[in-house]
């Protein structure tokens, strides 16, 4: 018999709030589930020591990366570990991001969340999200765009320079 089944149900309910908040771009919906000592480390290696700073950066990053596009995530947790008033959750997530130009990015990330029971309710104390930098589809897309851009610029500059040199030599 699982002595923590009720706790697992409560944590899954928070998971559902998080997934919906990501999809609706309403990360503030998590505020009731956040401990006063909340901190977070994001896949961009940014660290936040309070929820307000995290929420502000979330909004700015989402606007920059997605614009009017969409973002959704499905958390796939591993079994939670319980230590008295602490619950340690971890797993991976399947993420889909569609930017405002319609470019679709699908990627997996890994996460961990430490919950603390506060007056009988589970609250997020510490969270971490990581993304493999070598399989990051947003980075790959950006690098590909830069390679094409600078290749075209180099070709055009070389063509212009050769044309100018040819003109000067033929005159």
Q: pLDDT tens digits for 59-114?
A: 888 888 888 899 999 999 999 999 999 999 999 999 999 988 898 989 899 999 99
**Please, is 119 exposed, middle or buried when counting C-beta atoms within 10 Å of its C-beta (0-12, 13-18, 19+)?**
exposed
5-133 has which fold?
A: Nuclear Transport Factor 2; Chain: A, (3.10.450)
Regarding pTM above 0.85, the answer is no
24 has a pLDDT exceeding 90:
yes
How many C-beta neighbours within 10 Å does residue 167 have? 9
Contact 164, 152 (CB under 8 A): no
Q: Which residues 6+ apart lie within 8 Å of 84 measured at CB?
A: none
Name the least confident of 20-24, 117-121, 158-162.
158-162
Residue 139: CA atoms inside 13 Å, Cβ hemisphere, count?
9
- 100/104 Cα distance (integer angstroms): 10
* Amino acid 1: pLDDT: 64
140 has a pLDDT exceeding 70:
no
How many C-beta neighbours within 10 Å does residue 150 have? 10
Q: Can you tell me which residue has the tokens 């309403």?
A: 26
Phi/psi of residue 7, nearest 5 degrees? -65, -40
**Please, is 22 exposed, middle or buried when counting C-beta atoms within 10 Å of its C-beta (0-12, 13-18, 19+)?**
buried
Rounded to the nearest integer, the mean pLDDT of the chain is 89
What pLDDT band is residue 129 in, cutting at 50, 70 and 90? very high
144 has a pLDDT exceeding 80:
no
* Amino acid 158: pLDDT: 84
* Amino acid 164: pLDDT: 84
Phi/psi of residue 163, nearest 5 degrees? -65, -45
């Amino acid at each position: 018999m699982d002595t923590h089944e009720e706790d697992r149900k409560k944590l899954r309910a928070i998971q559902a709030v998080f997934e919906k908040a990501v999809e609706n771009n309403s990360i503030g919906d998590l505020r009731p589930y956040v401990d006063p000592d909340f901190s977070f480390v994001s896949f961009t290696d940014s660290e936040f020591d309070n929820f307000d700073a995290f929420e502000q950066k979330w909004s700015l990053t989402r606007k920059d990366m997605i614009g009017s596009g969409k973002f959704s995530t499905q958390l796939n947790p591993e079994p939670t570990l319980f230590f008295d008033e602490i619950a340690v959750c971890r797993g991976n997530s399947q993420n889909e991001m569609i930017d405002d130009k319609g470019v679709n990015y699908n990627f997996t990330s890994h996460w961990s969340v430490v919950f603390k029971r506060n007056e009988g309710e589970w609250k997020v104390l510490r969270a971490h999200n990581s993304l493999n930098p070598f399989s990051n589809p947003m980075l790959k897309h950006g690098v590909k765009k830069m390679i094409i851009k600078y290749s075209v610029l180099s070709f055009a500059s070389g063509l212009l320079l050769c044309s100018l040199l040819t003109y000067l030599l033929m005159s």
